[in-house]
Structure 1
Amino acid sequence: MENVFKRSVLGVAVAAAAMASMSANAYEIGQNNDFSVEVYGVAAISIVNYDITENGADTATGYDYENESRIGFRAGKEMFDNVEVFMQVESGYVGEDGTGGTLGNRDTFLGLKGDWGKVRFGRMLTPMYEVIDWPYANPGLGASWDWGGDVKYNRDRHGDMARYDSPSFGGFTFNLATGRGDKAVEGNNWFGGAAHYTFAEMITLHAAFETESDRQLEEAKAATDGSWSYKPNGDQDKWTPGEAAKDAVMADTFGYLVGFEASLPAGFGLAGAYKAGESKVQNGDKSEQASYAVIGQYWNGPWGFKLGYTANLESETAGVKQNDEDSIISGQLMYVKNGFVPYIRVAQRDLKAANDKGKIDETDIFVVRVGLEYGF
């Protein structure tokens, strides 16, 4: 189940403390029919305080409750010998008012599986983003590592996808997937894959890639008429020109990732990854950016601690550096008791991004989060 949906703090504790899997914890329902039907989920709530400084000035300080609770359903039944039909429907996070908790918001698919592997159709994580998100985004590195880059060269959780996951071949597995990027854009298709190899029962190597054609960065804009502003007496004062018609901005993208996980003696662990990619605007410039993440962890019985650092290196467009590097350092203390995982996380985010005036905004965010999760 760990490869099916996005991991959270609970996923760390489950893996590190060797707890039962989410599948084992799920409850069976519908016992009056011959389908295997399960309900599973995560109850997760945290209170988080953001202390924000933008361009050297304090702009916002305050706290928020973030509700990441979600629920899902799984079912399956053998159709032929060595061919089982299975499905999953998973909600999104409840969020502030429940609007994000729509069923199907997270991994939702129909598939076939056997000892030959499994193939799925629907909404899922792409093979590359699955590795980006786990194990390298935790604890609290996602605002830079996951989605904070200035050059977009991969999807994350996406619909209109067909995906194949192989069985294990002596510790080696692979994933392949393809689909539409934006179904409203002709020719916008993507393809990606990942490979994983575990050896010595303590080290796992990861590699992944993703490529996309005709990705729409900006929509086409129609021409607009100009207009006059008027003085109080009705005289025309100033003419504002209309906007000229603009074609959609389309790009071809490519990205890759290499990384490792290592379970070390005495409860220690280490993981690290490097990813890079490019976005080539059709009939225009090419932008490139690289990132890396390093995470260390230590477990002593039910207590766990993780420390992570990630950085987006300065991007380049047509060979010109863009002064937009950013980084996050984050630490998290966890405790596992009867399936409950209380935790506290402290992070410093140093972020840069271009604003709508073409200038760089520098934002420093000090984050303190206290939460509790429980998987069922």
Structure 2
Amino acid sequence: MEKMFKRSVLGTAVAAAAMMSMSANAYQIGENNEFNVEVYGVAAISIVNYDAEEKTIATGAKEDKYTGYDYENESRIGFRAGKDMFDNVNIFMQVESGYVGEDGKGGTLGNRDTFVGVQGDWGKVRFGRMLTPMYEVIDWPYANPGLGASWDWGGDVKFNRDRHGDMARYDSPNFSGFNFNVATGRGDKSVDGNNWYGAAAHYRVADMVTLHAAFESETDRKVKDGADASWEICASDTGCTDGAGNSISTGDNYQTAAVDAQFADTFGYLVGFEASLPAGFGLAAAYKSGESDVKGGDKSEQDSWVVIGQYWNGPWGVKVGYTENLESKTAGVKQGDEDSIVSGQLMYVHNGFVPYLRLAQRDIKSEGKQTETFVVRVGLEYGF
């Protein structure tokens, strides 16, 4: 099953029920098309209600952050093509749109995995926009059901990319249950020396347990933009300080100091497993850790973990998960920014359609505030 479908919110239902694969359900364009052009996609719509309360940690003051419902349209479409150039050398490509979203702006072609590659029984090499090897494992199987706001992208220390362009990636064939992926690319092409490197390895044992390990490293990643000196009006009742350190009275003009951009060297890793247990049960868990070492500044570190259980009885499936970002440290000092999510999902698979109900409780801390959000989502998804 292709990774673009695995990334969908209910890829787990389709995978576990073995109802379909993207290759099997893609439609060939043209009866005599020697390039094997296919169209595929996912139709996914849900209505979700958020009920959130925000608390200022220092004072304990609470307020309703937001309450209400939203329709989230994660439908997308893609195209694939390929043709043998030589014996055991097949040239292939893919262009995939993003989610439709609220106004369609995110649904542009090329928003998701879009690449050109060459493949054979020796593996495949791709160039373009893809998931990094480490993020591919983070996202699947560990972000579903509904754990992404903490586990996936909610960490306070940024040490990995996700879907990224300017990438070259190699995926090995399967060697008796073992396979691996390696990749490299530019982070920000406007920053000299901003390059990243990553790899992942996977080993399936006795057709029951799959072990995963991955890492990612990056040099000169921009973590804060710089700013030129500028003229401001002091609006503070207690006065201001200009770029030279002089005191400025309220209402007076003053010039701020220029601020240099900040860059960091980052490193992160992940270890985890997923297991198919008897009687329809399944279990998956992972631990990841990473650091961001700001040049001329401090090093920040953060660890995270996740555990997911599922049970299938015929077309019915239940999946529950819990994840936690542990408190980060900067220069060895704890930052009070730990967060967690607990989530549960009920699914039904029939004729390729997957209706579902998901409940989640998010407890997110950031910038001195704690936001508790209860999420209810009802949706329908199917792939073609």
TM-score scaled by structure 1?
A: 0.95
Give the counterpart of 2:352 among 330, 339, 364: 339
Q: Check if 1:315 corresponds to 2:323.
A: no
SS of the equivalent of 2:137 reads helix
User: Is the contact between residue 10 and residue 375 of structure 1 (CA under 8 Å) also seen in structure 2?
Assistant: no
**Counterpart code for 1:164:** Y
Report deviation, 1:20.
2.2
Comparing 219-228 with 276-285, greater Cα deviation is found at: 219-228
- 2:250 & 2:123 partners in 1: Cα distance? 71
Determine the C-alpha separation between the residues in 2 that align with 1:17 and 1:5.
14
Distance 1:94 1:133 in 2: 20
CA apart distance, 1:219: 1.4
2:129 corresponds to which letter in structure 1?
R
Contact 1:45-1:373 at 8 Å conserved across structures: yes
C-alpha separation in 1, matches of 2:229 and 2:256: 5
Contact 2:76 2:96 in 1 (8 A): yes
Asked whether 1:99 is paired with 2:112, we answer: no
TM-score, with structure 2 as normaliser: 0.93
Of 225, 229, 242 in structure 2, the residue corresponding to residue 219 of structure 1 is: 225
Which residue is 2:43 aligned to?
43
Question: Cα offset for 1:4?
Answer: 4.9
Q: Counterparts of 2:188 and 2:89 in 1: how far apart (Å)? A: 32
* SS across alignment from 2:360: strand
Counterpart in the other structure of 1:73? 79
> Which residue identity does 2:123 align to in structure 1?
G
Partner of 2:297: 284
Which residue pairs with 2:271 in the alignment?
258
1:256 positional shift: 0.1
- Partners of 1:228 and 1:214 lie apart in 2 by 35
d(CA) in 2 for partners of 1:60, 1:105: 29
Distance 2:281 2:294 in 1: 44
Which residue is equivalent to 1:162? 168
Deviation by residue 1:147-201 (Cα, 9 ceiling, x = unmatched)? 0000000000000000000000110000000000011111100000000000110
Give the number of aligned pairs.
Answer: 365
Residue 274, structure 1, aligned to residue 287, structure 2: yes
- Return the alpha-carbon distance in structure 1 between the equivalents of residues 253 and 329 of structure 2: 35
Instruction: Check the 8 A contact 1:45/1:372 in 2, yes or no.
Output: yes
Alignment check: 8 A CA contact 1:209 1:256 kept: yes
Letter in 2 for 1:370: V
Looking at structure 2, the residues matched to 185 and 87 of structure 1 have their Cα atoms a distance apart, in angstroms, of: 29
Aligned residue number for residue 159 of structure 2: 153
SS in structure 1 of the partner of residue 201 of structure 2: strand
CA apart distance, 1:240: 4.1
The secondary structure found in structure 2 opposite 1:205 is strand
SS at match of 1:275: strand
Q: Distance between the aligned counterparts of 1:364 and 1:254, measured in 2?
A: 30
Contact 2:289 2:303 in 1 (8 A): yes
* Structure 1 residue 14, shift from structure 2 partner: 1.5
8 Å contact kept, 2:82–2:91: yes
> Counterpart of 2:241?
none
Quote how far apart the aligned CAs of 1:28 are. 0.5
Note if contact 2:5-2:42 (Cα within 8 Å) is conserved in structure 1: no
Secondary structure at the aligned position of 1:143 is classed as helix
1:246 — aligned with what? 259
**Equivalent residue letter for 1:39:** V
Matched with 2:377 is 369
How large is the RMSD of aligned CA atoms in angstroms? 1.3
SS, match of residue 238 in structure 1: coil
Q: Secondary structure at the match of 2:128?
A: strand
Letter in 2 for 1:167: P
Matches of 2:262 and 2:152 in 1, distance apart? Answer: 23
What is the rounded CA distance, in whole Å, between the counterparts of 1:255 and 1:30 in structure 2?
A: 45
Amino acid aligned to 1:277: G
Counterpart-to-counterpart distance in 2, 1:3 and 1:116: 20
What residue number does 2:58 align with?
none
- Deviation of 1:78 (Å): 0.2
Q: Distance in 1 between matches of 2:208 and 2:253?
A: 66
Q: 1:117 is matched with which residue? A: 123
Native 8 Å contact 1:17 1:302 kept in 2: yes
The C-alpha deviation readout for 1:296-353, integer Å capped at 9, x for no partner, is 0000000000000000000000000000000000000000010000000000000001
Paired residue for 2:23? Answer: 23
Q: How big is each residue's C-alpha offset from its partner over 1:13-57, in whole Å with a ceiling of 9 and x where there is no partner?
A: 121111221110010003333110110000000000000100132
Tell me the amino acid that sits aligned with residue 383 of structure 2: G
Q: Equivalents in 1 of 2:138, 2:288: separation in Å?
A: 9
Distance 1:238 1:375 in 2: 60
Does the Cα contact within 8 Å between 1:5 and 1:107 map onto a contact in 2?
Answer: no
**Residue 304 (structure 1) aligned to one of 317, 327, 333:** 317
Gaps of 5+ in 2: 56-61, 236-248
Rounded to whole Å, the distance in 2 between the matches of 1:206 and 1:264 is 17
Instruction: State how far apart, in whole Å, the 2-side matches of 1:130 and 1:267 are.
Output: 25
**Equivalent-residue separation in structure 2 for 1:196 and 1:73 (angstroms):** 28
